[in-house]
Amino acid sequence: MNAHVLFGAIFISSLLCLAADQPAKPKLKVADDGFPAGRDTPEGVACDLARAFIKRDAKLLTSTCLNADVYKKKKGSGDYRAFLEEKIDSIHNEAKKAEPSAGGPKAIGKVFAARHLSKQGPASYGYAVFGFKDVMFVDVGVFLQNGNPSLNRTLVVKDGDGKWYVHPMPSVSPLLSDGLDDEKASQTDFSDAYQIEK
């Protein structure tokens, strides 16, 4: 066997070994708009939050957001509950309008892969105080009704039921969201983190 053939065989063998060492990407079925949906993934629930405002769907908002009961007898419970009620009322009012407000979202444009916060504290705090299994964030880009783009950073938590929920008011839990706004801009598209199925 000449040197070129031998080198080629070794190179191909090395590539196959590297490919075998890579963990398989989880499969993800996307919604009709081409983006994740549902509470099985952090990206899905973050997109559903955007869809709740796009569709002016209060029911989707409440099923997507962390239930206010999680804050029962904890600091910030009243603020969180009031915030949710205000958002629900806002969506109900929007739904009554013939045309959506110019500053409201029209469509999802870009979804980045979920990321853990750089600091260890939020995940530990979430587990110890609320029983959360994970704490992450997702950057979701939307186009507004007026045509302008907007990027929203969404805090998401995996609750004890194994499902992901949006925490729409991170400021009520500074220890849970410590460093959220200081994280660098996301770079990895969600489609690079999953094996996409239509």
DSSP 103-159: TSEEEEEEEBPPEE-SSSHHHHHIIIII--SEEEEEEEEEEETTS-EEEEEEEEEE-
Question: Would residue 13 count as lying in a domain?
Answer: no
pTM of the model: 0.85
Question: Would residue 144 count as lying in a domain?
Answer: yes
Question: Would residue 186 count as lying in a domain?
Answer: yes
pLDDT for residue 198:
72
Question: Would residue 4 count as lying in a domain?
Answer: no
Question: Would residue 18 count as lying in a domain?
Answer: no
Question: Would residue 118 count as lying in a domain?
Answer: yes
- Contact (CB, 8 A) for 114 and 101: no
Question: Would residue 15 count as lying in a domain?
Answer: no
Task: For residue 188, give its domain range.
Answer: 26-197
pLDDT for residue 14:
46
Question: Would residue 10 count as lying in a domain?
Answer: no
For residue 178, the domain's CATH number is 3.10.450.50
Q: How many domains are there within the chain?
A: 1
pLDDT 10s digit of each residue in the chain, 198 long? 444 443 344 444 444 444 445 578 888 999 999 999 999 999 999 999 999 999 999 999 999 999 888 777 666 567 888 899 999 999 999 999 988 888 999 999 999 999 999 999 999 999 999 999 999 999 999 999 999 999 999 999 999 999 999 999 999 899 999 999 999 999 999 999 999 987
